[in-house]
Structure 1
C-alpha cells in the first residue's frame, strides 16, 4: 500500500548513544525495536561525536546537506562523506569517529540486518516518470518536488511505493532504499 510520510511527521529522537539526533522515517517490522529487519532515518550531525554501533547491521549513509565529515572506521579506514547524494556502505559494528568538515550536516541512513536481507541506496534524478524497483521499500525526496498517485512530495518527504510510477520534476533528486530479503 502506497503511503506518504511527510517531513513534518518525523519527530526528532536521540541517537542510540545519546550523542546526536535522528528522525526515523520507517522500519520493518513497524513495531520492532532493536530487532528491525531494516530501518531508515535522517540524522543530524552537529559535532564530532562517534556514531552509535549496530552489531549485525549493514549501513549505508548519504550526505544530504552541509559540508559533511570525515569518518574514521575502527581507527583505520578513513572516508570523506563530503559529496552530497553519494552512498557509502559500512558495517554497523564499526567504531566510527567523526571529524567535521564544516558546520552541521544531515544524512540519510539505511540500516539492514545482514542475516535477513541486503540493502542498497540508489540515486534517482528528474525530470520524468520513473518506475521504482520492486525491492524499493522507500523513496526519499532529497531535492525538489515530485508527484505520486498518493499525492505530491516536497523535499524531505518520503513515499512507500506501490508499483505505480513517481513523477520527478525538474531538478528533483530522490534516494531509493532497496531491501532484498534472503531466501
Structure 2
C-alpha cells in the first residue's frame, strides 16, 4: 500500500507546540495512548520543546532544513544536523530544541517499549532491495522508488500488504528510511 504525505492531514503535537503528519500507526486508528508503533513527519519551525511520551522509544532523523540542537534532560546535547541519520532517545525525556537556521522537517518513529523494539535503517540507491518480514514501512526521502503498486516519490511511504516477498527498486539518487518492528513474544517484555 502506498501512502502519500499529501493525504496525511496536519495535526498538532501532543503538547500543542508544533505540527506533524501521521503516516502510519499500529494498530490502525490507535491514539497516542494505545499505539504499538507510529511513524510521522514533524514540522519544526520554532524552538518549542518536544512532547513527552512516557514508555515510548523514539528515533528521529532530519529530512529537510539545517536542523536543530536537542538538549536532553540527562545532559546530552545532540545536533540533529546530518540528514537521514537516525537518533534514538526515550520518549519521556525532556527535550529542548534550538533551530540552527530556519524551519526543518523530520522523520519520527515511536515504539511502545514494553511490547516491541523498533529501528530505522537507511537504504541508498540505486539498486533493488527486498524488505525483511519485520519491515513495516519504507519512506522515500529522495528521488523515486518503484514498487509493484507504483512509484513512490519523495515524501511517499510504502507498507507491505502481505507476507509475500517483494522487491523495491531505488533509482539513482534515491534514499529510503526503512522502519523495522520486532514484537516481543507473548508474556515477554523488555522490562
| Count of residues in Structure 1 that have an aligned counterpart in Structure 2 | 181
2:30 aligned residue = 32
Alignment deviations for residues 87-124 of structure 1 (CA, whole Å, 9 cap, x no partner): 00000000000011110000000000000000000000
Mapping 1:21-170, distance limit 5 Å: 21-33=19-31, 34-74=33-73, 76-161=75-160, 162=162, 163-170=165-172
Output the TM-score relative to the length of structure 1: 0.97
- TM-superposed CA distance for 1:53, in Å, is 0.2
2:13 aligned residue = 15
- The answer to whether residue 177 in structure 2 is matched with residue 178 in structure 1 is no
TM-align CA RMSD: 0.8
User: Partners of 1:48 and 1:31 in 2: how far apart?
Assistant: 30
Output the TM-score relative to the length of structure 2: 0.93
- TM-superposed CA distance for 1:75, in Å, is 5.8
User: Partners of 1:36 and 1:110 in 2: how far apart?
Assistant: 12
What are structure 2's unaligned runs of at least 5 residues?
186-191
User: Structure 1 residue runs of 4+, over 6 Å off?
Assistant: none
- TM-superposed CA distance for 1:73, in Å, is 0.7
User: Partners of 1:112 and 1:143 in 2: how far apart?
Assistant: 25
